[in-house]
Amino acid sequence: MSAEAASSRSEEEVADLFRRLPDPSARDELAEEFLPLAEYFARRFSGRGEPIEDLTQTASLGLLNAIDRFDPDRGVPFATYAAATIVGELKRHFRDRGWALRVPRNVQETAILVNRTMSSLWQDLGRAPTVPEIASAADIGEDDVLQALDALQAYTTDSLDAPTSDASSTAAESIGQEDVSFEISEEWLSLAPALRDLPERERMILYLRFFEGKTQTEIAEELGISQMHVSRLVSQSLEKLRGQQGG
């Protein structure tokens, strides 16, 4: 199915419907007419761990946005314009959830629940929660929590590396203060050549943690970020280093 063949109506009939906007019945007719296009792209993005219902809903939202923003005088067929908007909406959906990795659905749902519970407990308690604490707050088994924490590792590594909307920086780089600078010894950097390739903030955190021997809590205070973030950044950057060393 190509975007151009998305509609059973002629381009002229579609153009007529657009001329009737903002008449709600014309909007409904357009939405109905192009729903198969939204469903088509929702299916194309399925199988990545997000429920198809959510994807269809997201795609439909993209379609409605396309209907509201389309300018028939620009000479672009609506289906082409709508396809781009729908795909954009679906991509944003995945980006917002940070799920670039394929994780089975129930593990993923548990992971989202555990992540949320963990964050709020971490904040409430002022320290990292234990697995039993998370299990009881989320009302799930301790094994489920462990499994979710394992899945979340892949998840955080990935989402923090993903480009943010500001394409020039990643989320990991833009956390916290920007103007702290450190003299990092050359000798230390030579221990693991890949350290030089890490974003500055991660390199700094590793330096404070493994050269100056500071605790996560101390680093969190020094950099003005949460301890949870420090913990994640430490894991993430160690994984990256190991990946590059090939060990």
Output the smallest distance, CB 237 to another protein, in A: 10
Nearer to another protein, 77 or 199 (CB): 199
Nearer to another protein, 171 or 194 (CB): 194
Output the smallest distance, CB 186 to another protein, in A: 15
CA R_g for the chain: 24
Output the smallest distance, CB 173 to another protein, in A: 22
Nearer to another protein, 17 or 234 (CB): 234
Nearer to another protein, 91 or 116 (CB): 116
Nearer to another protein, 180 or 191 (CB): 191
Output the smallest distance, CB 168 to another protein, in A: 29
Q: Measured between alpha carbons, how far is 167 from 155 in angstroms, rounded to an integer?
A: 20
Structure-token match 């059973």, residue found: 8
Distance linking the first and last C-alpha atoms of the chain: 45
Q: Measured between alpha carbons, how far is 18 from 221 in angstroms, rounded to an integer?
A: 56
The answer to whether 52 touches 116, Cβ cutoff 8 Å, is no
**Which residues bind to another protein, rule: CB under 8 A?**
118, 125, 127-132, 134, 142-143, 145-146, 149-150, 153, 191-192, 209-210, 213, 216, 227-228, 231, 234-235, 238, 241-242, 245, 247
- Cis peptide bond prior to 193, omega within 30° of 0: no
Backbone angles phi, psi at 10, to 5 degrees: -75, 160
